[in-house]
Structure 1
Amino acid sequence: MKTIVLIRHAKSSWDHDVSDLNRPLSKRGFTDANLVSKAFGAYNFNPEAIFCSPANRALTTCQLFMDNIGLEKKLLTIDHELYDFGGNQVRRFIKSLDDDLDKIMIFGHNHAFTSLANSFGDADIDNLPTSGLVMIEFNVNQWQEVSQGETKMILKPKDFK
């Protein structure tokens, strides 16, 4: 059994003259990421690895989740392949994971995460919002075999406001 938790980065701020990679979270982004991460923490999901895009907004979201859930920093790997908006790079990344890992979290971007949630899961998601989370389970033993799984959870900030 393989389980993926996809988390779209929290709402970013466009008020700064920085590159896309360096864009920070907005005030709402911090609020929403805290709401969703604290709610997700109640499920006691213990990932064996956490992967994150190098984008500032994704990394800050990841750090908020890790802090609120109490996950160890040593679980985190930052990978440039996750700075992907279409989904093909993230799909390749997932299919190349070490088969010793069974439960992972990935922090990244849209449209990639909405697309992956819809192609991997069995729920129809119109748009995974910022700070949105989707958990998908696969009845396979190898990441290369991941194709169609079962959507076990969808958390959105508006669910906790």
Structure 2
Amino acid sequence: MSRTLLLMRHAQAEDGHGVIDHDRSLTGRGREQAARVGRVLTELGHVPDHVICSTAERTRQTLDGVLGAMDPNTGADVAVDYSRSAYLAGVDELMELVNQVDADADTVLVVGHNPTIAQVAASFVGPEALTAFSPATVAAVSLEVEWLYAAPGTGDGRVLT
């Protein structure tokens, strides 16, 4: 069974002057970016049935925009794990969160932060992902292993947006 791992950097956020980093919100452009990603993922047939999302305000708002732009019927059964550990996670910690996803999930969306999201994407896509991950960028990785065994090198991917 083929599985798809979607790795997304949050959309454009405010500069955060005078705001705690965890509480930074999306800009108007960031909200547009998130909605565009939702439409693109739907067009490509990449509708998540499980999401791992950092607890930061900008990642939560990004996820809301992505899911909100999808057909209302497609997002009805999405399981969302808001994870404080995804906020500061490194590559290994983020992959551990992926490894804990229920085996029944076919498509997992991870909404997180750079540099970690770009580093995880690069481990599947190649080093070009490191420079490609501007806000609201998504990579899709095809895996032929269960989530428990997902790790760099166990799938192939490409940057979508």
TM-score if structure 2 supplies the norm length? 0.85
Q: What letter corresponds to residue 81 of structure 2 in structure 1?
A: T
Q: Which whole-Å CA distance do the structure 2 matches of 1:54 and 1:19 have between them?
A: 13
Deviations 1:58-105 (A, max 9, x none): 000000000101312752221112112532321221123222323211
TM-score if structure 1 supplies the norm length? 0.85
Deviates more, 1:140-149 or 1:24-33: 140-149
Q: Give RMSD over aligned pairs.
A: 2.0
Shift of the alpha carbon at 1:140? 1.3
Who is 1:9 aligned against?
10
Deviations 1:110-156 (A, max 9, x none): 000110001133573133110001100112134224332111x4233
1:78 to 79, 82, 100: 82
Structure 2 unaligned residues grouped into runs of 5+: none
| Pairing 1:54–2:55 present | yes
1:116 to 109, 115, 120: 120
Residues 8 and 108 of structure 1 are in contact (CA less than 8 Å); yes or no, is this contact kept in structure 2?
A: yes
Who is 2:143 aligned against?
138
| Aligned residue pair count | 155
Residues 95 and 151 of structure 2 are in contact (CA less than 8 Å); yes or no, is this contact kept in structure 1?
A: no
* Percentage of identical aligned residues: 22
